[in-house]
């Protein structure tokens, strides 16, 4: 059975009512059978795309404090050593995963631990793969700490289409690896900042599955 994320319930309901209305009423405004069928088909396609975007498949995460899992579905677009300037203010390994509109957009906790930092930043809506998207786009920054990795940081970043980031992480919360951490509506990417020396298990261009794929380990 297909599950949908709670963040999509309202949009799905509105889309369903709108789509059914169009399909039923279009015959009143058009006489041409071909035009009616085209509009009805396009409406159904639109409804299916909305349903696909908010799907929330169950993932079987194997809990391991020595591993970092992918927070989202998508493609690895960045693996590099960078200066993290918001929280750590030192060098970290950045792994970035880009989500296309057809990917599952649920954000999952990359590891278990305690939330040490959680902050929302308003910003621009540059395309998600833009080099400055990580620091200039609308985004949330979250830091988790556990005994194995210490602190890691992940950042939900809005893109050109994304207009709302949902972040459930609150400072002081204890969270479980692979569980629901939020949602990014209509596109974007997630950056993860790991300690120098962390073993990276993915390659540029590799497609990963959130809550399942191990992207790094001790």
Residues annotated as part of the active site = 188
CB 116 within 8 A of CB 158: no
> Residues 113, 104: contact at Cβ < 8 Å?
no
Length of the chain in residues, anyone? Answer: 218
Pairing of strands 90-99, 74-84: antiparallel
Q: What is the 3-state secondary structure (H, E, C) of 117-141?
A: EEEEECCECCCCCCCCHHHHECEEE
Lookup: tokens for 57: 């498949």
Asked if residue 20 lies in contact with residue 46, where contact means CB atoms within 8 angstroms, the answer is no
């Amino acid at each position: 059975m297909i599950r949908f994320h709670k963040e999509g319930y309202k949009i799905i309901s509105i889309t369903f009512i709108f789509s059914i209305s169009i399909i039923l009423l279009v015959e009143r405004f058009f006489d041409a059978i071909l035009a009616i069928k085209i509009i009805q088909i396009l409406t159904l396609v639109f409804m299916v795309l909305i349903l696909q975007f908010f799907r929330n498949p169950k993932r079987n995460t194997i809990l391991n404090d020595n591993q970092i899992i992918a927070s989202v579905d998508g493609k690895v677009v960045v693996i590099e050593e960078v200066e993290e300037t918001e929280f750590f203010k030192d060098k970290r390994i950045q792994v970035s995963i880009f989500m296309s509109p057809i990917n599952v957009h649920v954000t999952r906790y990359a590891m278990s631990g305690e939330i040490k930092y959680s902050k929302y930043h308003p910003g621009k809506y540059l395309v998600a793969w833009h080099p400055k998207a990580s620091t200039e786009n609308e985004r949330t920054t979250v830091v988790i700490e556990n005994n194995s990795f210490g602190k890691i940081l992940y950042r939900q970043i809005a893109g050109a289409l994304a207009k709302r980031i949902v972040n459930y992480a609150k400072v002081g919360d204890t969270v479980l690896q692979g569980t629901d951490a939020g949602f990014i509506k209509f596109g974007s990417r997630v950056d993860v900042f790991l300690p120098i020396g962390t073993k990276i298990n993915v390659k540029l261009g590799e497609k990963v599955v959130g809550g399942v794929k191990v992207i790094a380990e001790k």
